[in-house]
Amino acid sequence: MLKQFTSLSPSRLTYKQLHNTINLKYYVMKKISLTISCLIFCIVAGFSQQQKHAFGIAWEVNSPNNSGYLTKTSWSGGKLEYRYFLKPNLSVGGAMDWASYSQYFSRQTYTKADGNTAITSDFVAHIYTLPIMATTHYYFEQKAKMRMYVGLGLGAQYMEQRLFYNVYETYEYNWGFVGRPEFGILIGRPESHSPILLAINYGFATNENGITKKSSFNSFGVTLGVLLK
């Protein structure tokens, strides 16, 4: 969707002015996400006192690797997850995480996928992703203060894509399938109820990207948080 960004003045905007204006929306979105996260945290934390329940909250850093134009790493990501232990070494559950990407591009010609619209300008690209997945994890034997695990998440991912250039905005959003294998380590004593969680993952999603005419969006991520159990 191509529309005039009427909330900005018609004059040429600097990257800093445009970035600050756009960031207001993402600031509000983050506040809403954090509020929901706190509510879920309070509700589930009570269940986490039982040995079969665990609740995780973490910070995530994500780097896109096949978008065709994004190269900058997202430092503004987060993750919430719930794990139910079927056995001491096996759990199932669900996870929701988010990432916000932002990058400035110098002057170039942008053509829509339909080939009917083309604009030459510098622009700012913003992409917001929200995967919601069912998860399963397998845990290896505890060694000293570390316990390694492998996991897999499958589900759906919402992706919002915006380009801002001069007084115009290109806006697209869609849902796609997402898969995410994960390798992690729980750091803490065996009797600890709040081990540190450190993990790496690779996410592949089928979200369509009209900007680069691709039908996937993949990323590599690092997770650092705590697992309450």
pLDDT, one tens digit per residue, over 92-107 is 999 999 999 988 888 7
Q: Is residue 60's pLDDT more than 90?
A: yes
Q: In which band, very low, low, confident or very high, does the pLDDT at 10 lie, cut at 50, 70 and 90?
A: very low
Mean pLDDT on 161-173: 79
Q: In which band, very low, low, confident or very high, does the pLDDT at 68 lie, cut at 50, 70 and 90?
A: low
Nearest to 161 by CA among 223, 106, 99: 99
Specify the pairing of strand 146-165 against strand 53-64. Answer: unpaired
Number of structural domains in the chain: 1
What is the CB neighbour count within 10 angstroms for residue 62? 23
More confident residue, 203 or 162: 203
**pTM (two decimals):** 0.76
* Residues 6 or more apart in contact with residue 189 via CB below 8 angstroms: 145
Q: What percent of the chain has pLDDT over 70?
A: 70
Mean pLDDT on 97-124: 76
| CATH number of 158's domain | 2.40.160.20
d(CA 134, CA 152) in angstroms, rounded, equals 8
Cβ atoms 52, 84 nearer than 8 A: yes
Q: In which band, very low, low, confident or very high, does the pLDDT at 9 lie, cut at 50, 70 and 90?
A: very low
* Residues 6 or more apart in contact with residue 133 via CB below 8 angstroms: 94, 95, 96, 153, 154, 155, 156, 178, 180
**Tokens matching residue 81:** 């997850």
Mean pLDDT on 3-19: 44
**Tokens matching residue 25:** 């929306």
Query: Where is mean pLDDT largest: 4-18, 39-53, 174-188?
Result: 174-188
**Tokens matching residue 2:** 């191509």
Domain carrying residue 193: 2-228
d(CA 152, CA 199) in angstroms, rounded, equals 12
